[in-house]
Chains A and B, each alone.
Chain A
Amino acid sequence: MHTFQKYWHIFWHLRKLELMRMMEYRGDFIFFSFLSTLWTIFNFFFFSLIFNVSDTIAGWSADEMYLLLGTFTILDAFTWTFFYHNMSSYTRHVFTGSLSMLLTKPISTIFLLTTAKNSYNNIFRFFIGCFTVYHYTKKLGVQPSVWDITLYCLLIFASLLLIYAVWFITATFAFWIEKLDNINEIIPGLRRVMQVPKGVFVGASSLLFTVVLPFGLVSSVPSEVLLQRADVPSIIWLLLSSVIAVVGAIKFFTFAIKKYSSVGN
């Protein structure tokens, strides 16, 4: 319990530091918040173009699809708020050799690597996502129970863990691969997979994006829970795969750290 309290305290202390940094560069915050809002609107606009010529995407109506996009927007807000900054900092530490500094700290290196940084530029994206989910749930006339909402939140959390863990595994390859500054662009590059219903993928692509690397489930399954048509195997696999990914990421980091060497930090 004491350890948990310590980490909880450190986590929020780090958020406070980042908030102070944000306040120092207020112009940046406003500018990039505006940009992130524009990209979010653009994403919805793109799908509205598709719905201009078609009624459904993989059996999902426009309103259902916007609900899914709302869920994706929530996940995307975390991607750019937490994941991108921490993973960039992680690979930079590995490439420059400054990871030694973190290894000597009296707290978990993985905790420090994955939570030290964040930005607040995507806070509006998060609220847009929440509002969209709320709006389209109402518009579709769906009345989710408390259990549905709890499960939705749990699945969102599992999806975030899955994305973060897979990203961490990818970034850990930095121990072996030099001259690959864009290693942190791989997971954001796969975001398109997350913003479409899982039914879009068929055959080999279905196996790849819903089983092997289940990014095709991260927005789909929570949205299906709200729409009260989720299938149990997908829910279980999303929860299970996030746990497997987290355990795998920790194991892989422990293995990879043996490869690490630096001089004079």
Chain B
Amino acid sequence: MVTQKQTMKRILHQISFYTKVIRFKFIKALQWRTEMVLWILLDIFPFIILLFIWQSIFAFSLVQNTSLSELTIFYFMVIVVQGLTSTHFEEYRPEEIRLGKIDFFLIKPYNYLQEIILNDLAGKLLYIIAFAPIVTLLGFALWRLELSTLPNLTGVHLFVLLCLLLLAYLMQLCFSILITLSAFWFDEASGLTHFKWLFISLFSGTLIPVALMPEWLQAVTNFFPLKFLFAVPIKLLQEQVLPTQGDWGLLLCTIIALLFGIFFVWKRGVQKYCSAGG
């Protein structure tokens, strides 16, 4: 009974600690709010241009297997899913490892991985607060223009969607952490982020709906777990298709493999790490 109480106390203490850190990081991120709003607009903009491209295509001819309204909803969903799940810290974090600036975290009961994750969570929270009204406004405008309709989702769909989005975020987080940690060995680790975006763009179903892809690309997209980042959540939203048991298995196995990968790379990396006067 005493042990249970102690465990409970320890968990509560940890939660309180993490909450304080996230609050602190949130306040820190708040000073860059204008920058964040600009990032949101810059993230949305390319998809708006894609809508213009498709609009011009439909002005000349019809496209098999889809309509302009479906494509509009597709790109709107891409914007939403991207806003909620994407991570970008691998663009600047590797520099900290390369320049030997992580000594601080190696001697404190708060390691570098915790710092990365909590910082990103706080940033994401602020991002969502700024992102929600903008994307709602965009959705409303598209709805007013009769280019999109509200998806018909039940409680189960919404719950599954929430789980998928959380797991997609976790997967993106793992990719970004692995790229960051590669800086222990590789000088230009931040450049690897280009490969991440290339692979995600190609094989996760962000460019065009899976149904419109050539057969070989459909097969590759359906084979790789990257489909859980965009294609699967968007399919759920558009067609109300729930992931199969096999999908869940693949998703969980991928995330477990990524987590093991992170702990392995982190352990090896710290052994290799050296700095002077940091």
Besides A46-B207, A180-B35, 9 other A-B contacts (C-beta < 8 A): A27-B188, A49-B213, A53-B208, A55-B61, A190-B45, A192-B50, A201-B52, A202-B55, A205-B52
Least Cβ–Cβ distance between B211 and chain A, in angstroms: 10
Contact A186-B42, Cβ < 8 Å, known A179-B32, A196-B52, A200-B52: yes
A49 in contact with B212 given A196-B49, A196-B52 (CB within 8 Å): yes
| Pairs of residues from A and B, 8 with the lowest C-beta to C-beta distance, nearest first | A189-B42, A58-B56, A192-B49, A200-B56, A192-B46, A54-B57, A35-B194, A200-B52
* The residue from B32, B50, B56 contacting A199, defined by CB atoms under 8 A apart: B56
A182's partner among B35, B53, B59, B212 (CB-CB below 8 A) is: B35
Total chain A interface residues with beta-carbon distance under 8 A = 39
Are B42's CB and A53's CB within 8 A? no
Are A57 and B57 CB-contacts (below 8 A) given A27-B187, A35-B191, A192-B46? yes
**B contacts, CB < 8 Å to A:** 31-32, 34-35, 38-39, 41-42, 45-46, 49-50, 52-53, 55-57, 59-61, 63-66, 187-188, 191, 194-195, 198, 201-202, 207-208, 212-214, 217
B208 in contact with A196 (CB, 8 Å) = no
B45 & A192 in contact (Cβ 8 Å cutoff): yes
Instruction: Please tell me if the beta carbons of A57 and B53 are within 8 angstroms of each other in the complex.
Output: yes
Can you list 16 pairs linking A and B with CB atoms under 8 Å apart? Answer: A35-B191, A49-B207, A49-B212, A50-B208, A52-B213, A53-B212, A54-B57, A58-B56, A59-B60, A179-B32, A181-B32, A182-B39, A189-B41, A190-B45, A200-B49, A200-B53
Give the B-binding residues of A (Cβ under 8 A): 27-28, 31-32, 35, 38-39, 42, 45-46, 49-50, 52-59, 177, 179-183, 185-186, 189-190, 192-193, 196-197, 199-202, 205
